[in-house]
Amino acid sequence: MGQFAVIGLGRFGSAASLELMRLGHSVIGVDINPKIINQMADQLTLAAIADATDEHALKDLNITACDAVLVAIGESLEASILCVLQLKSMNIKEIWVKATSRPHHTILSRIGVSRIIHPEEEMGMKVAQSLNYPMVNQYMAIGYNLYVVEITITDKCQGIAIEELLKETEHSIKPLLVQRNKDIFTPVKLDFVLESGDSLVLAGTLNILKTIAPRLA
């Protein structure tokens, strides 16, 4: 079980906090709004009213003991930047920050944080991908233009082997697993015969993955 701090409990910060709790972690939630803290108090390990730009307030919450801190302050760019500077002065290594604009991103990049998050932009991209490829249930970027995608096999692909689905991709797509009802098949061979309703997880570059989309529709 890890210990995390989430600073800023708006929609994004609250959702992240509750999901971390659901995953079994300990979460310190911090917000300057008493109403928000009262709403979250019974759902987090600790919910505290505090000014996240105040180093003493952060130290009182023992933030330095956390494995990572997520700064999800959305309304004030200044407060977000000042909070990050305080965390860095406390030698906290793992700092994730929600950026609300390109200037915000630029400043965070120059300060140096572990990860910059654009939740609205990232969700917009996922929605666009889902609209473009409705057969793709989930996708995740893993860097260097590599993606892992989960595809639901339709009646069109019933009874064909994975190698037939991936033909002409020059082995640039790697099948990772197949889920059929409650059964999971991994490693999965290219001669594995697919059935309608299977979930097929593939890894490859986005451009190559796009080439098989017409075969799935």
Q: Is residue 44 scored above 90 in pLDDT?
A: yes
Pairwise pLDDT comparison (122 vs 69), residue with the higher score: 69
Domains, the chain, ordered by start: 3-117 (3.40.50.720), 122-216 (3.30.70.1450)
What does the block give as tokens for 157? Answer: 């692909």
Which tens digits make up the pLDDT trace of 53-62? 998 999 999 9
Confidence of residue 36 (pLDDT cuts 50, 70, 90): very high
Amino acid at 213: A
**pLDDT at 102 (0 to 100):** 87
Q: Is the whole model's pTM more than 0.85, yes or no?
A: no
- When mean pLDDT is compared across 40-49, 75-84, 129-138, 164-173, the lowest value belongs to 129-138
Is residue 207's pLDDT more than 90? Answer: no
If DSSP states are collapsed to H, E and C, what string results for the chain? Answer: CCEEEEECCCHHHHHHHHHHHHCCCEEEEEECCHHHHHHHCCCCCEEEECCCCCHHHHHHCCHHHCCEEEECCCCCHHHHHHHHHHHHHCCCCCEEEECCCHHHHHHHHHHCCCEEECHHHHHHHHHHHHHHCCCEEEEEEEECCEEEEEEECCHHHCCCEHHHHCCCCCCCCEEEEEEECCEEECCCCCCCECCCCCEEEEEEEHHHHHHCHHHHC
At 1 the pLDDT is 79
Q: For a pLDDT cut of 70, what percent of the chain falls above it? A: 90
Q: Tell me the backbone φ, ψ of residue 39, rounded to 5 degrees.
A: -70, -30
